Amino acid sequence: MGLLATLFTVLASSQGMAQESRRSVTIVVPFSPGTGPDIIARIIAEKLQPKLGQAVIVDNKTGASGGIGSQMVTRATPDGHTLVMTADPPFTANISLTKPVIYDPVKGFTPIIEAAVGTLALVVHPSVPANSIKELVAYARSRPGEINYASPGVGTPHHLAMEFFKLTAKIDLMHVPFRDSAGAISNLVGGHISAMFLPVHVALPLASDKIRILAVATKARAPQLPDQPTLDELGFSGFDADIRYGVLGPPDMPPAVVARYNSEIGEILRSPDVAERLAKQGLRPVAETPEKYAGNIVQDLAKWSRVVTDAKLSTD
């Protein structure tokens, strides 16, 4: 008998509900195939299916910076058959960025597990006369609004991290949003864009001659870049723009189902082969408890809401 079938045999008050638990489990990914959330979701689905004894399907529902797929899950029945694998940002930033608000990141979901963390690096094109963050800040202050930076769109982690940096460093850079990462990166490499935040696994292959890495956006140094300082180390106290990946369900999921999912997915994330697969994508598995993940969501909501408000950002 599958995991959900076993749990719902205990939890269900009717035979109908127990029979319903034989349905497949869907992990909604509110982003495109090949993105961080999609990669993690497919690894989890592959390993989770034999543990459940049920089919586990990954369903990409894109749009509105992850809002469309997330909204589907917050409205779903909290029976353990519909989950979401999301990235934050933009998960907690959307409540401030989009109008009307289409979901509440705290009240609208049941946190199950924080799965992994991705690290961003602040990079510049080699033509920019800056070999350090200090030099970049000085250069930007001498040319307010003239230096541009790219992102794959408004509300993406790359965009919000740079707006966070602009506020912290008190500099003015011009945002050039692209429709996807490929367009932004090609223009950066081509010299049409001066700066950008990039995932470390994307930045590293380009670092020999196409870009210059100046710092990472985490509080601790990235294992892939042990000699690269963090922005926090360089005087931007508390600067932390990790991309947090996690699994959530609809509100009011049964605690026993949440606990079992956390246990099974956590076991998957802690396995050496999965850690190795994630590391190749610049991702570090964390496998946090539901309570810890819930607390991190609250903290992220406060941080990104402040950035959106102070930077006067909007998707309109």
pLDDT of residue 2: 58
Q: Is the dihedral of CA 47, 48, 53, 59 positive or negative?
A: negative
Counting residues of the chain whose pLDDT is more than 90, the rounded percentage is 83
* pLDDT (mean) for 267-274: 97
Residue-wise pLDDT tens digits, 80-135: 999 999 999 999 999 999 888 889 999 999 999 999 999 999 999 999 999 999 99
Nearest to 37 by CA among 63, 66, 57: 66
* From 68-72, 86-90, 98-102, 241-245, the region with the lowest mean pLDDT: 98-102
pLDDT of residue 4: 58
pLDDT of residue 314: 87
With a CB cutoff of 8 Å and minimum separation 6, the contacts of 260 are 3, 7
How many Cβ atoms are within 10 Å of 42's Cβ, its own excluded?
17
**Would the pLDDT of 316 be above 80?**
no
**Would the pLDDT of 170 be above 90?**
yes
**Would the pLDDT of 13 be above 70?**
no
Output 208 or 239, whichever has higher pLDDT: 239
- Residue 10's pLDDT band (boundaries 50, 70, 90)? very low
The Cα–Cα gap between 308 and 162 comes to 11
Hey, what long-range contacts does 14-23 have (CB within 8 A, 24 or more apart)? 17/79, 20/79, 20/81, 21/79, 21/80, 21/81, 22/54, 23/54, 23/81
pLDDT of residue 64: 84
Residue spans in the chain of domains classed CATH 3.40.190.150: 3-116+244-310
* From 61-65, 127-131, 138-142, the region with the lowest mean pLDDT: 61-65
* From 62-71, 118-127, 157-166, 250-259, the region with the lowest mean pLDDT: 62-71
What fold is seen in the domain 120-216?
Answer: D-Maltodextrin-Binding Protein; domain 2 (3.40.190)
Residue spans in the chain of domains classed CATH 3.40.190.10: 120-216
The superfamily CATH assigns to domain 3-116+244-310 is Bordetella uptake gene, domain 1 (3.40.190.150)
Output 281 or 303, whichever has higher pLDDT: 303
